[in-house]
Structure formats: structure tokens, C-alpha cells
Amino acid sequence: MSTATAAPASVSAWDRVRTYTPPSRYVPVIVTFALFLGMFGVGGLRYEGFTDPQVFLSLLLDNSFLIVLAVGMTFVILAGGIDLSVGSVLALSTVIAAKTLEMGWSPYLSVAAVLATGVLLGLLMGLLIHYFDIQPFIATLAGLFLARGLCYLISVEAIPINDPTFSDWAFKSITVGDYFIGWTSIVALLTVAVATYVLARTRFGRTVYAIGGSESSAMLMGLRVAFTKVGVYVISGFCASLGGLLFALYTSSGWSLNAVGMELDAIAAVVIGGTLLTGGRGFVIGSLLGVLVLGTIQTFISFDGTLSSWWTRIAIGVLLLVFVVIQRLATRRQR
């Protein structure tokens, strides 16, 4: 910004801190972070043991799959699309993993099969959306039905996972002092880190923002619109299947009724994380914070004990509403 360089040089350090305003693009993420801290603070005041670091670490463990889903969803929403299929693809991944392991495949082969399925489904949806001008909403709706149907075709019943290597992965954790962090949380955080790097530092990431800002402008600028637009759905499909693997590790089973409606949680997390639903603005780190906020609501309700589980859905809905309305008012003012 030119105003920053034009400021007089004789301001004290305190003045600079006092008058500091963060760049407007970071404001939504900061708001979400403040909300998360605030909720944790209130929880710490109200319930004993809420501020124990292990509570935070289990938050990461219990929501690792949702974090991965939200990362994929962030790419899609940044590019101006939406992906309704992630919940079903996650369920399909758990079923494929469980079924292939039951059939005696090596766990590595099983993981590869799961990830390949996710990538393939994402690729198909991306191609439909870009080359046939089908709305993302309706194409991924077809993906939702397709993945759920495939689940049922493979197995209607839940399949337990008894593979020793798989259970080993599920329970492996790193212990620091009295606290432990599971491998699945580390995978989720690694996904966030890679996604942050890709979006901020690579040509692909910038093209994603450009397409979300204005697809026709991106096209006229000579950016690789087709590649990127299909690419975000491939990434989302990959993330959904990776999330499925984490979910299968978390529950040690595969079931076709897993994760019904989880796409809504992923979208809600992305929105609460400050990503603009019309695309072009937002950060992966915001989505991580969004998932943590959702997870904290859950923790709140389990700590309280008197509130029923359905208050989670209502609270998420209210938060979603507040953020959507704020987003709407903010974008209206800018015009």
C-alpha cells in the first residue's frame, strides 16, 4: 500500500503498534481466531480442565478428517465453486479401505486404491463442470449420489477393520511430556501446511484466486483456467479420500452411512474461517480455525453434559448465519 510508505518517519514504535491495522484481507481470519480464543477462554472459566492442552490436542485428533475435508473445500470455494460430494466420497473411502483390507490387500495398496478413487471422482466432476458448463452444485450433487450408491453397492453393512498395520497407524502418537498428539492430527496439519504453501506461493494457487475473482478475466489474462478449475476438484476429491482414510483410522471401520451431511460441516467451517463464498478471497488457515471453532462447540456441549447433542447443529447454523450476514454487509459496503 502506498499509504504505508508515505507515513512520516518520526513515529515512535508505540505509535506504530497503537495505530496498526491489519490488512483487510486478514481481518476475517483474525476474527475467527479471536472467536476461537474467546470460546476457549469462556470454556476455561466455566468448566474445570477445559484449558488443559490435551483438550486442544484431542480437538485436533477428533476433527482431523474434517480439517482435511475443509482444506479441499477451501480450494473449490476459492475458485468460485462448491463441492457437495465430499461427505459421500469420505464414506466411500472408508468402505473401500475396509473392503480391500477384508479381502486381504496390503494396507499400502488399499491406501493407494482409496486415494486413486478420490482423485478419479474429483477429476470426473471437474471435467463435467468445466467442459460441459454444468453448475458445480449439480455436478457434485451427481458425485454425492454416485459415491453413496457405490458405497451401498460394495457393502450395506458396516465392515470392521482388523488389519494390524492399520490399527498401528491409528494408535501411533507422539508423546511430549504428559501430552500426546496422534499421527492422524499430524497428517491433517501437514495437509494444511502444504495447502497454504500451494495457495500462497505457487502459480497454481494464484490462478485459483484469480479464477475466483473473475473467471473471464483469468481467461483473458492467459491463465490456465481449464487445468486449474479441474485441478481444484481433483484436490477436493483427493482431500475427501484422505479424510476418509483418517476417518477409517478413527473409527476402525467402513460404513456406507458414515459422514451423512459432513459436506455441510466442511462448508460451514470454510465460511466461518472467513473465505468468501463467491470465491477469490480466503485462507486455508481460516478453514483450520473454522473446524476448530466447530470442534470447540462440540467440546463445550460434551463438557457441559446438560445440553443435548442437537444444540451443536443449531449453534453451527447460528454461527454460519452470523458470518454469512457479516460477509454480505462487508462486501456490500465495499461496492
Partner 1 sequence: MADTLTRPTPETGDGPRPDRPGAVSRLLALPLIWPLLALVVLLVVNVIATPTFLNVRVQDGHLFGNPIDIIRNSAPVLLVALGMTLVIATRGIDLSVGAVAAIAAAVACTRIVAAPDESAASTAILASTAALAVCLLLGVWNGFLVAVLGIQPIIATLVLMVAGRGLAMLVTDGQITTVNNDAFSGLASGYLLGLPVAFLVALGMVGLTAVLTRRTALGMLIEAVGINPAASRLAGVRSRTIIWTVYAFAAVCAGLAGLIIAANTNSVNANSLGLWIELDAILAVVIGGTALTGGRFSLAGTLVGALLIATLVRTIPNIGIPSEANYLFKAVVVVTVCVIQSPRARAALRVRRPAVAKAGAAA
97: CB partners within 8 A, 6+ apart: 110, 111, 114, 161, 166, 244, 245, 248, 254
143 binds partner 1 (CB under 8 A): yes
Residue 10 identity: S
Is 259 near partner 1 (CB under 8 A)?
no
Gap between the Cα atoms of 223 and 103, Å rounded = 45
Residue whose CB is less far from partner 1, 58 or 327: 327
Candidate residues 25, 46, 203, 328; the one interacting with partner 1 per rule CB under 8 A: 328
Q: Which C-beta is closer to partner 1: that of 105 or that of 311?
A: 311
Q: According to CB under 8 A, which one of 309, 333, 334, 335 is a site residue for partner 1?
A: 309
Binding to partner 1 by CB under 8 A, coded x per residue (else -) over 267-306, reads xx--x-----xx----------------------------
- Residues 146-175 within binding reach of partner 1 (CB under 8 A): 146, 148-150, 152-153, 156
The full DSSP string for 3-28 is HHHHS-TT--HHHHHHT----GGGHH
In the block, which residue shows the cell 491433517? 188
Element (H, E) at 296: helix 284-304
- Candidates 131, 171, 197, 227: give the one binding partner 1 (CB under 8 A): 131
Among 285, 259, 52, which Cα is nearest to 144's? Answer: 259
User: Taking CB under 8 A as the rule, does residue 82 contact partner 1?
Assistant: yes
Cα 240 from chain centroid (whole Å)? 9
Distance CA 96, CA 82 (A): 25
Which residues contact partner 1 by CB under 8 A? 82, 128, 131-135, 137-139, 141-146, 148-150, 152-153, 156, 256, 260, 264, 267-268, 271, 277-278, 308-314, 316-318, 320-321, 324-325, 328, 332
